[in-house]
Amino acid sequence: MKITNKIIIIVLVAIGLYTVFFIASDISTVYDKISSFKIEFLPIIISLVTSSWFVLFVRWDLLLKNSKIFIPKKDSLLIFLSGNALIIVPGKVGLLVKSHLLKTKFGIPRSKTVPIIMLEQLYILIGLVFVSFFGIWFFELGAYVIGFFTAALIFAFVLISSKKAFNKLIAILGKTKFTSKFAEPLSSSYDIIKKSTRGSIVFYASGLTVIFWLLEVLSVYFVLLSFGIENIEFLKVIPIYATSLMLGFLSLLPMGLGVVEGSLASFFSLQGIEASLSLTIVIVIRFFTRWYGVIVGFFALKLSGTLTFDEA
């Protein structure tokens, strides 16, 4: 199946899901809720979300340089932003589009870039778990999910510290059709991964990811304020939002579609927010924190010179 077909399917699924949310909440009620959105918060929300991308771009640039990959900043930024376009696509392309572009435009082998893509995901989880601890005492339910991910991260670092264990994992990945897509480029990348999870780069990459998450959670907080929700403290928003994202991650669905929205709306309802308003707020949050990035990613993909391509 072509990438464009997968994108169309996921977008249609998302539209269908959000339509169900609207119908369940009564469309006229949702319209009234959206009408109450305080437009003066819009520049703040967009600025926070956009700024968070550039924080992750600095981390991306740092990881590239740490692996001795040097490309022009403009191209690097376009490739980085292009990665947002296909996060809605399940399978290897959603994760590896940046690796594909680096190979196509600069001839950089995937064995050098796939590890960086995977490390980005690792640091995303590290930052999310770390940020979650800021407000974990405000949201008891989140403690169990955060505890699970903390244990998973510890396991990941133990795995990385042993080349023998790492090679065993690669062998296991190579046995199934889906995971075999990652096994081959990862098989010769142990040194790159180990180098990028040792020393000062761990501090800088993790720190930048924490800043990214704080900016994104802050944008979520301002979305709540824009709908007149002032009774949920910022420190409480952190674990609520983080827990919903972690549940979405566990679902293995693109962007945790449906799982993040449903869990986040439920968590907001537990905080005393009316169900129809919770669903409306969640859809607005997801638009700014994810779909806005997808739209910008497609523009970056077009500017990078590789708007569409078939699966290999």
DSSP 137: G
- 132-137 — which CB contacts under 8 Å span 24+ positions? 132/238, 132/239, 132/242, 132/243, 134/235, 134/238, 134/239, 135/233, 135/234, 135/235, 135/236, 135/237, 135/238, 135/239, 136/239
Max mean pLDDT among 135-149, 158-172, 287-301 falls in 287-301
Q: What is the CA radius of gyration of the chain?
A: 20
The predicted model scores a pTM of 0.84
Q: What is the pLDDT of residues 34-80, one digit of tens each?
A: 777 899 999 999 999 999 999 999 999 999 999 899 999 999 999 99
* Contact partners, residue 109, CB within 8 Å, separation at least 6: 103
State how far the Cα of 165 lies from the Cα of 167, in Å rounded to an integer.
5
What's the pLDDT band for 309 if we cut at 50, 70, 90? very low
114/269 Cα distance (integer angstroms): 40
Please give the pLDDT value at position 311: 44
Inter-helix orientation angle 259-270/3-25, to 10°: 30
